[in-house]
Amino acid sequence: MAKKRPAGFTLLEILLVLAIGAAAYVAVLGVPGRGISSAELKSSARVLASGLRTAQATAMATRRDALLTLDLDSHDFEVPGAMPPRHLPDKLDLKLYTAQSEVASEKRGSIRFYPDGSSTGGRITVSSGERKYLVDVDWLTGRVTIQE
């Protein structure tokens, strides 16, 4: 009579399942510590878009020009008089495209909104490695959009 094998899994089977799970994790989420996660990247783009919308709403409510000023070195941005400075993760790569009149220095610039809702227009690129989001501001309407 053959000896019955006890029910359960062997150590080798458990290690094999763990190795497959770890490989799937790396494939889907990337290697931990290598930049920032996709969720943090998207969240940063949304925070910037919210700041731009705040600047537009402030300009329209106060009937005065309002600026969102971005410092590319410190990763800080603010809307003076409407919201305190906000900090974005340091591992982000930021690029600002705006009107020449709004460039304060090589690493600092603004996007201006006017009382009628229009703006100088521009784009803030939020990226990490190959992944990026484009936060665009239409100059005519001041509409803020996020593109992947």
**Domain annotation covers residue 95:** yes
Q: Based on the structure, what is the number of domains in the chain? A: 1
Q: Among 28-37, 69-78, 135-144, which is the least confidently predicted range?
A: 28-37
**Domain annotation covers residue 28:** no
Chain centroid to CA 51: 12
**Domain annotation covers residue 17:** no
**Domain annotation covers residue 31:** no
**Domain annotation covers residue 99:** yes
Domain range holding 46? 38-147
**Domain annotation covers residue 42:** yes
pLDDT for residue 14 is more than 90: no
**Domain annotation covers residue 75:** yes
**Domain annotation covers residue 1:** no
pLDDT tens across 29-61, in order? 665 555 689 999 999 999 999 999 999 999 999
> What pLDDT, on the 0 to 100 scale, is given for residue 128?
93
pLDDT tens across 61-74, in order? 999 999 999 999 99
Buried b (16+ CB within 10 A) or exposed e, 74-106: ebebbbeebeeeeebeebbebebebeeebeeee
pLDDT tens across 124-134, in order? 999 998 999 99
CATH number at 96 reads 3.55.40.10
| Whole-prediction pTM | 0.76
